Amino acid sequence: MTEFAYTSIPQEERRPTIGLIVLQTDITIERELALWLPPSDYNVLVSRVPNGVEVTEETLGAMANHITHSAELFPQDTSFDAVAYCCTSGTSVIGAEKVADLVKQGCDTARVTDPVTALAAACKKRGIKKLAFLSPYIESVSSHLRDVVAAEGIESPVFGSFNEGEDSKVAWIDPDSIRKAARALAEQGGVDGLFMSCTNLKTHGLVEELEQELGMPVLSSNYVLAEHLRIGT
């Protein structure tokens, strides 16, 4: 064997490192965040968290039992600039502060974010107080999420849902169905922004398109999460 000496890339030359804790059923967010957070700019590592087939407050809350272990599955010698727990409704049930504590128990990160925290930051940045709110989920889950968002000072007087009970099916909702629903909600008026909830909902491309068409800020779970991750790295 010939042994070779090597040098390491200096810390200051390394790309910011971001961790994503993604639902087991989510097949959308990794691609979308790669488009909004290109690999040329960020080192993105992904872990998975078990979640129930049916989306209910009970199954969402049960994820709290697994978040720390999911964070422990990241490389333990890695220090993260930020780690995101990638579930909008799950955050609303578990609570953003508890999510952050559970993540930090499992990995070394300077910051933890989630789609609800990111949405609040995005609305504050844009001065949004009233959202047209599009959800894929059943009413009880959506209603709880809207209450949590309202506690951040953001009302959702216009609301619509695909009323889907299984997260795995959300990933296959056709973009044209999302587009039509978003337009119909925005046309009701009385809002200064539109939000498309759920990290498994395909919204890349639609955000920019609808924003131009509707003449108002358009946000989605994945879009605000990417924006909030960029801000902190």
Q: What is the pLDDT of residues 108-167, one digit of tens each?
A: 999 999 999 999 999 999 999 999 999 999 888 899 999 999 999 999 999 999 999 899
151 assigned to some structural domain:
yes
Within-domain flag for 136: yes
Q: What is the pLDDT of residues 191-201, one digit of tens each?
A: 999 999 999 99
Q: Are 51 and 146 members of one domain? A: no
Are 91 and 187 members of one domain? no
* Segment 43-56, tens digit of pLDDT: 999 999 999 888 99
In a domain, 3, yes or no: no
Q: Which residue has the tokens 């209450």?
A: 147
Structurally, the chain folds into a number of domains equal to 2
Q: Does a structural domain hold residue 142?
A: yes
Query: Over 90: is that where the pLDDT of 93 sits?
Result: yes
42 pLDDT higher than 60: yes
Report, as an integer, the average pLDDT of 205-227. Answer: 97
Residues 155 and 90 in one domain: no
Nearest alpha carbon to residue 229 among 118, 148, 152: 118
Residue that finishes a domain, picked among 61, 89, 114:
114
The tens digit of pLDDT for each residue in 54-85 reads: 899 999 999 999 999 999 999 999 999 999 99
Q: Using CA atoms, how far apart are residues 86 and 158, in angstroms rounded to an integer? A: 24
Domain boundary among 114, 149, 165: 114
Task: Output 3 or 12, whichever has higher pLDDT.
Answer: 3
233 pLDDT higher than 80:
no
Q: What percent of the chain has pLDDT over 70?
A: 99
**Which structural domain, as residue segments, surrounds residue 171?**
116-227
Contacts of 192 (CB under 8 A, 6+ apart): 127, 128, 129, 130, 131, 216, 217
Return d(Cα 137, Cα 57) in angstroms, integer: 11
Looking at the predicted structure, is the pLDDT value of residue 179 above 60?
Answer: yes
Answer whether 221's CB lies under 8 Å from 84's CB. no
Q: Is residue 30 part of a domain?
A: yes
8 Å CB contact between 198 and 137: yes
Same domain, 165 and 193: yes
CA 85, CA 68: separation in Å to the nearest integer? 11
What confidence score (pLDDT) does residue 193 get? 98
| Same domain, residue pair 128 and 146 | yes
Is 233 part of any domain? no
Mean pLDDT across 210-221: 97
Q: Same domain for 101 and 150?
A: no
Q: Cα separations (Å) of 204 from 32, 40, 169?
A: 6, 19, 18
Type of residue at 58: E
The whole-number pLDDT of residue 14 equals: 85
209 part of a folded domain: yes
**Do residues 105 and 121 both lie within one domain?**
no
Residue 207 counted as domain residue:
yes
Domain boundary among the residues 82, 114, 146 is at 114
Query: Do strands 108-109 and 79-80 pair parallel, antiparallel, or not at all (unpaired)?
Result: parallel
Tokens of 93: 């049930």
Domain at 203, CATH number? 3.40.50.1860
Q: How far is 54 from 56, CA to CA, in rounded Å?
A: 6
- Residue 213's pLDDT is 96
Give the span between the Cα atoms of 64 and 54, in whole angstroms: 16
Residue 85 and residue 17 in one domain: yes
Does residue 71 share a domain with residue 52? yes
Of 170, 228, 206, nearest to 26 (Cα)? 170
Query: What pLDDT is attached to residue 232?
Result: 59
Q: Which pair of tokens denotes residue 146?
A: 């809207």
Residue-level pLDDT at 111: 97
